[in-house]
Amino acid sequence: MTETEFLLWARGPAFQGATVIFVLGVTFRLLEILLLGRKPNLAEPRGSAMLGGLRTIVTRSFPDAGTHKRSAFTHYMGYIFHIGFFITLLLYAPHILVIEKAFGVSWPALPTTVVDATAVITMIALIAVLLHRLKDPVLRFLSNFQDYFAWFLTILPLLTGYIAFHRVGLPPPALIAIHILSVELLMVVFPFTKLMHAFTLFMARWYNGAIAGYKGVNS
Amino acid sequence: MKNDQTLGEILRDQGISRRGFLKFCAATASLLALPPGSVTAIAAALESARRPSVIWLSFQECTGCTESLTRSDAASIEDLIFNTISLDYHHTLQAASGTGAEDARQSAMKENWGKYLLVVDGSIPTGNPGFSTIAGISNVDMLMEVAAGAAAIVAVGSCASFGGIPHASPNPTGAVSVADLISDKPVINVPGCPPIPVVIAGVLTQFLTFGIPELDELHRPMAFYGKSIHDRCYRRPFYDKGLFAETFDDEGARKGWCLYKLGCKGPTTYNACATTKWNEGTSFPIQSGHPCLGCSQPDFWDAGGFYQALSIPTGDISRAAVYGAGAGIAAGALMGALNRGRKSHAVRVHKKVTIDDLEKEHEK
C-alpha cells in the first residue's frame, strides 16, 4: 500500500466505517438510557421540573466557588483542555471542510498560528491533568484502565495532527492518514467509554435539576 | 561534435564566454542551495566532464516530458549543456529510424558500457509484453538490457518515477515504475507531469558535477524536491490567515487567496514549482489561479479528486450516518425492550418482606 492509497483508505472506507460505528453507538447508548423510563412520580409537584432542569443545565456549566476552592488545578486544566480541544477541532480550516462535507454548514477559520498554539496549550493541559491524576493518591486509586485509555484517545488526534501540520518524520500523506486514523479510533471507541459524557452531560444535568425542580428546590 | 571533448571545450566552441559559464555555475549553486565556494568546484567539474553518452528510452508515455524539455523557450546554457550531451538514442528526437536507430543504441551501449546515463520516460507495462514495444522489443526487455550497462538511471516524469497515469486505477497494462524493476543501479526520480525543464537540467548538472545527488525516500533529488509546494507558496500567508478562495471566481479567487479548499495538493506535494516556476520563471499553476494537482507525487491521479480538499472524507458520510443511526435505533430499541422485560420480570418475582418475616429471621 502506497502512502497515497493509505491516505485514501483513511479518508474513504475507514472514515465511513468509523462514522457508522460512532453514530450507531451514540444512538444505541442514548436510546438505551432513555428507554429505561422512570416510575411516575405521584407526589404533588412543588415547582416546574422542566424549569429546574433547564436552570441546572446552565448553573452546572459554570464553575461554583466551592469546587474551585477544593480543586482549582483540575478546574482550570479541565476548562483549558476542553476549550482548546474544541477550538482546534472546530476552527481549523481543514476540519471545517470535513464538517461542511458531513453537515453542509461552515464558518470562518482561525489563523493556523492560533490553532497551532492552542493545540500545544491543550496538549500541555492534558499532560498536566494526567500527571495530576498519577500524583494524587485518591485520583490514582479511583482511576482504572478506561480513564487512561480515554486520555490517550483524546491526546492522540492532537499529537498526530500537530505532527501532520508540521510534517515531521514521514511523508505528508502518511502523516495525514495517521491523524485521520487517530480520529477514527476516537470515533469508534467514543460511544462505549466515558467519552460518551459529551452527549449525556446535558441530559444528566437536566435530570438532576428536574428532580429538584419538581420538589420546588434548587439543585 | 567529438565524443572525447570535455564539456568546457564544447561550451567554448559554442561561443559561451568564461563569464557566462561561471554565471551559470553560480546560478546552479544557488539553485542547489550550495555555498558560494562550491561555484568553482561546479565549474571545475563541468569544465573537465567528458561528454556523457545518454540513452533515452520512452515507454508508456505521452511525450510531454520531452516536450517540456525541448520547448524550454529561449536558448540557455542549460540547453547548451543538453546539446553537449551525446544523446545517442531518443526515438522521438533522433532522425534515424528502424534498424539504424536500434543500431545507434547498440553501438552507444557497446562503446560506453558501464558509463552511459540512461534516461527513461514513461512507465513499463508488465502485463502483456505486446502492450508497448519498440522495434519489436518489449519495454521490460529493452529496459533490462540497457540498464545493465548504465552508470545510473534518471527516471524523468511521474510515469517513469511512479507509474504515473498508466498506473492509475485499474492499471490495465500492469504499469510499473523504473525503480519497481531495477534495484541494482542508482535510480534518480525526476517526477512531475511533466517535470520542470530547469529541474531536469539541474539534476543532470548535479549528476555531472557531484555524481548521484542526495535523494529523498522516493529517490528524488533533495535539492529540488526537498520542500513542499505549500512551504514555498507565495499564497501560504493566506492559508495561515484562514483566507481561502471558495470558488474559482469569487472575491477570494480574485484577491489571490489560498486554493486549499479548491483541492490544492500543495501541502503534500514536493517539487520546485513555487521557486523555479515555469516558462523562464513566469508563473506556476497556483500563481495562475489553479490548485496544485500534486503531479510529482505517487498515484496523484488516484488521490481522491483534483478539486477535493485533502482533508475531506471521500465516501458518502451522510449515508454512513443514516445506516449507523438506523442500526443504532434498532439495537437501542431491542436493548430497551430487553431492559423493560428484565424490569417487569423483577417486579413480578419481587416478594414483599413484612415485619413478621423480619422478626422470624431475627428469632433464628
* More confident position, A208 or B77: A208
Closest chain A residue to the Cα of B300, Cα to Cα:
A4
DSSP state of A218: -
Cβ of A50: how many Cβ atoms within 10 Å? 13
Helix, strand, coil content of chain B in percent (nearest 5):
50, 15, 40
**A117 touching B (Cβ < 8 Å):** no
Q: From chain B, pick out residues whose CB is under 8 angstroms from the CB of A37.
A: 340
Q: Residue B1: is its pLDDT beyond 50?
A: no
Q: Is residue A110 in some structural domain?
A: yes
Q: Does A105 touch chain B (CB under 8 A)?
A: no
> What is the Cα–Cα distance from A62 to B25, expressed in whole angstroms?
67
Determine whether the interchain pair B309/A94 forms a contact, defined as Cβ–Cβ distance below 8 Å. yes
Which residues in chain B are closer than 8 Å to A101, comparing Cβ atoms? 312-313, 317
Q: What does the DSSP 8-state code read for residue B283?
A: B
The structural domain count of chain A equals 1
Non-local CB neighbours of B231 within 8 Å, separated by 6+ positions? none
**Residue in A closest to B312 by C-alpha:** A98
Upstream peptide bond of B285 is cis (omega within 30 degrees of 0): no
Contact B325 A108 (CB under 8 A): no
Spatial separation of the C-alpha atoms in residues A106 and B143, rounded to whole Å: 52
CB–CB contact B335 A28 (8 Å): yes
Q: Is B88 helix (H, G, I), strand (E, B) or coil?
A: strand
Q: Which 8-state DSSP code applies to residue B156? A: E
Partner B contacted by A90 (CB < 8 A): no
Amino acid type, B41: A
- CB < 8 Å & 24+ apart, contacts of A166-173: A167/B228, A167/B267, A170/A3, A171/A3, A171/B217, A171/B218, A171/B268, A172/B228, A172/B267, A172/B268, A173/A3, A173/A4, A173/A6, A173/A7, A173/B268, A173/B297, A173/B303
Q: Indicate whether B128 pLDDT > 50.
A: yes
Mean pLDDT of B66-93: 67
Residue among A31, A38, A39 with most chain B CBs within 10 A, to mutate: A31
> A44 vs chain B: nearest CA distance in angstroms?
25
**Helix count (H) and strand count (E) of chain B?**
17, 9
- A124: number of Cβ within 10 Å: 13
Report d(CA A34, CA A45) in Å as an integer: 22
Question: What is the arithmetic mean of pLDDT over A60-74?
Answer: 82
pLDDT tens, position by position, B4-34: 677 777 777 777 788 888 887 887 777 777 7
Alpha carbon distance B160, B154 (integer Å):
9
Q: Is residue A131 within 8 angstroms of chain B, CB to CB?
A: no
Return the pLDDT at B164. Answer: 94
The residue ranges of DSSP E strands in chain B, in sequence order, are 53-58, 86-90, 116-121, 124-125, 133-134, 137-138, 150-156, 175-176, 187-190
Q: What are phi and psi of A92, to 5 degrees?
A: -100, 130
Can you spell out the DSSP letters for B168-227?
STT-TT-EE-HHHH--SS-EEEE-SSS--HHHHHHHHHHHHHHSSPPB-TTS-BHHHHSS
Residue B72 in this model has a pLDDT that exceeds 70? no
Q: Taking all residues of chain B, what is their mean pLDDT, rounded to a whole number?
A: 87
Please tell me if residue A168 touches chain B, with a CB cutoff of 8 Å.
Answer: no
Domain of A115: which CATH number? Answer: 1.20.950.20
Chain pair A-B, CB pairs under 8 angstroms: 151
Out of A68-82, B66-80, B112-126, B303-317, the most confident range is B112-126
**Residue B197 C-alpha from the chain's centroid:** 15
Q: Which of B171, B168, B225, B188 is nearest to B31 (CA)?
A: B225
Of B302, B316, B324, the CB nearest to A23: B324
Q: What is the largest CA-CA distance in chain B?
A: 125
Q: How many CB atoms lie within 10 A of CB B5?
A: 16
- Residue-wise pLDDT for B288-334, tens only, equals 999 999 999 999 998 888 998 888 888 888 899 999 999 999 999 99
Confidence of residue B49 (pLDDT cuts 50, 70, 90): confident
Q: What is the DSSP letter of B281?
A: T
- Whether A39 contacts B342, CB under 8 Å: no
Residue whose grid cell is 477559520? A109
pLDDT at B186 over 60: yes
Give the three-state DSSP class for B250: coil
Would you state the CATH architecture of domain B7-225?
Answer: 3-Layer(aba) Sandwich (3.40)
List CB contacts of B261: < 8 A, sequence separation 6 or more. A93, A97, B244, B245, B246, B309
Q: Inter-chain contact A97–B318, Cβ cutoff 8 Å?
A: no
Residue B242: its chain A contacts at CB < 8 A?
Answer: 93, 108-112
d(CA B207, CA B262): 38
Hey, what CATH topology would domain B229-302 get?
A: Cytochrome-c3 Hydrogenase; Chain A, domain 2 (4.10.480)
Q: CB under 8 Å to B94, separation ≥6 — which residues? A: B87, B101, B104
pLDDT-based confidence at residue B81 (cuts at 50, 70, 90):
low
A82 touches B at CB < 8 Å: no
Q: Which residues pair with residue A76 across a beta bridge?
A: none
B324/A98 CB distance under 8 A: no
Q: Which residues, other chains included, contact B41 with Cβ-Cβ below 8 Å and sequence gap of 6+?
A: B209
ipTM value greater than 0.85 = no
Question: Residue A177 has what pLDDT?
Answer: 95
What is the per-residue pLDDT across B232-288, written as a single tens digit (0 to 9) for each?
999 999 999 889 999 999 999 999 999 999 999 999 999 999 998 988 788 999 999
* Partner B contacted by A38 (CB < 8 A): no
| Distance between B234 CA and the closest CA of chain A, angstroms | 16
Q: Are B201 and B82 in contact (CB under 8 A)?
A: yes
Q: Is residue A91 situated within a structural domain?
A: yes
Owning domain of residue A141: 3-37+62-196
**Cα distance from B243 to chain A (closest Cα, Å)?**
8
| C-alpha B130: how far from chain center | 27
* For residues B177-184, average pLDDT: 95
**Range from A129-138, A180-189, B71-80 carrying the lowest mean pLDDT:** B71-80
Q: Enumerate the β-bridge partners of residue B90.
A: B56
Q: Which residue of A has its CA nearest to B328?
A: A24
CA distance B268 to chain A (A): 5
Strand duo B150-156 + B116-121: pairing: parallel
Instruction: Give Cα B169 distance to the centre of its chain.
Output: 17
Tens digits of per-residue pLDDT, A123-149? Answer: 999 999 999 999 999 999 999 999 999
Residues of A with Cβ-Cβ distance to B260 under 8 angstroms: 93-94
Q: Does A4 touch chain B (CB under 8 A)?
A: yes
- Is A167 a domain residue? yes
What whole-number distance in Å separates Cα of residue A13 and Cα of residue B225?
31
pTM confidence score: 0.82
Closest partner CB to A8 (pick from B314, B317, B321): B314
Pairing of strands B124-125, B175-176: antiparallel
Nine-digit cell string for A108:
470562518
* Cross-chain Cβ contact A20/B324 below 8 Å: yes
Residue A28 forms part of a structural domain: yes
Q: Say if the Cβ atoms of B315 and A20 lie within 8 Å.
A: no
Say how far apart CA B68 and CA B155 lie, in whole Å. Answer: 15
CB contact under 8 A, A4 and B321: no
| Cβ contact, residue pair A28, B297, below 8 Å | no
CB atoms A27 and B316 under 8 Å: no
- Inter-chain residue contact A12 with B217, CB threshold 8 Å: no
- Domain ranges in chain B? 7-225, 229-302, 317-363
